[in-house]
């Protein structure tokens, strides 16, 4: 199916690695113009890459100005950068909690806020990447989970606020995806291999991690006009992990 994404300029935060990179690769396959916003610069002639510290609202404003000057349009934003930083209730501080919100949700607002004039012109699409931890809890990660819960709330809130401009806003919610971030997290356990087996045993569909390109495929659909009457939705791409019967093994 042609997703009609040819020449569409789509910003992808955290696009250098993992899920973001899979989205970028998918956009390239559709002949779109992915623009990576990440603290890591990606050296690749096919790609536009901006090295940016997304925790700074001013840096986000500047990069949006640069991009709009260069391209004259913004057709979509994939808010994806974030990390599970283990700032817990007991093992955490108020300062670390606020910093975690800045790391994980602040820039979702900054980027959309500054890009809004161009999104209004293009009737753009926004896709926010969440996490199943915001609906299940995980323990010892208050900041990340608060941010991810806020991202789902913002998805609904922005879907309503942006109705007059025909800008659609949706969320994709991963659970366990094989990315560099995931690998780093699993390696914190005493026996990472055993922990991985425990997790995949409980993933109903095929007892395996989700592949980044499986998240990307849903993101691309939501960016495209093939989902032209879909807004305010939270779509779980997780092999049934969050919702299917717990007795399924």
Query: Which residues here bind ligand NAP, judged by CB under 6 A?
Result: 14, 16-20, 38-40, 53-55, 80-83, 103, 129, 131, 174-177, 179-182
> Which residue among 108, 110, 114, 144 is the active-site one?
144
Residue 232 Rama label (left phi>0; alpha psi -120 to 50; beta): left
Which of 14/34 has CB closer to ligand NAP?
Answer: 14
At its nearest, how many Å lie between ligand NAP and the CB of residue 184? 7
**31: Cβ contacts below 8 Å, ≥ 6 apart:** 5, 6, 7
Residue 144 bears catalytic tag: yes
Name the one residue in this structure whose structure tokens are 């807004």.
231
Distance CA 209, CA 206 (A): 9
CB of 176 to ligand NAP, least distance (A): 5
- Give the tokens for residue 175: 């659970």
Of the two residues 32 and 219, which places its CB atom closer to ligand NAP in the complex? Answer: 219
- The least distance separating ligand NAP from the CB of residue 14, rounded to whole angstroms, comes to 3
Task: Considering the complex, state which of residue 6 and residue 41 has its C-beta at the smaller distance from ligand NAP.
Answer: 41
CB of residue 234 to ligand NAP, shortest distance in Å: 13
DSSP sequence for 111-135: HHHHHHHHHHHHT-EEEEE--THHH
* Contact in structure between 77 and 11 (CB atoms under 8 Å): yes
Residue nearest to ligand NAP (CB): 18
Reported as type and span, the H/E element at residue 64 is helix 57-71
Identify which of residues 9 and 173 has a Cβ nearer to ligand NAP in the complex.
173
Residue number with CB closer to ligand NAP (193 or 229): 193
* Range 110-128 burial, b when 16+ CB lie within 10 A, else e: bbbebbbebbeebebbbbb
Contact 77, 10 (CB under 8 A): yes
Catalytic residues: 144
């Amino acid at each position: 199916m042609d997703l009609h994404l040819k020449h569409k300029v789509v910003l992808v935060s955290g696009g250098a690695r993992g899920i973001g990179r899979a989205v970028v690769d998918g956009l390239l396959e559709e002949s779109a113009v992915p623009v990576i916003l990440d603290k890591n610069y990606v050296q690749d002639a096919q790609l536009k890459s901006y090295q940016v510290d997304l925790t700074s609202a001013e840096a986000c404003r500047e990069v949006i100005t640069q991009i709009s000057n260069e391209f004259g349009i913004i057709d979509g934003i994939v808010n994806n950068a974030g990390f599970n930083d283990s700032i817990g209730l007991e093992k955490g501080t108020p300062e670390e909690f606020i910093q975690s919100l800045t790391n994980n949700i602040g820039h979702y607002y900054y980027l959309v806020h500054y890009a809004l004039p161009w999104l209004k012109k293009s009737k753009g699409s926004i896709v926010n990447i969440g996490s199943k931890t915001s609906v299940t809890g995980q323990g010892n990660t208050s900041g990340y989970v608060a941010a991810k819960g806020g991202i789902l709330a913002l998805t609904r809130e922005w879907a309503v606020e942006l109705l007059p401009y025909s800008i659609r806003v949706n969320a994709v919610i991963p659970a366990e995806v094989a990315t560099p971030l995931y690998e780093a997290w699993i390696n914190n356990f005493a026996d990472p291999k055993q922990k991985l087996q425990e997790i995949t045993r409980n993933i109903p569909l095929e007892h395996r991690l989700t592949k980044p390109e499986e998240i990307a495929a849903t993101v691309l659909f939501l960016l495209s006009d093939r989902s032209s009457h879909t807004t305010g939705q939270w779509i779980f791409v997780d092999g049934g992990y969050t919702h299917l019967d717990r007795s399924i093994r």
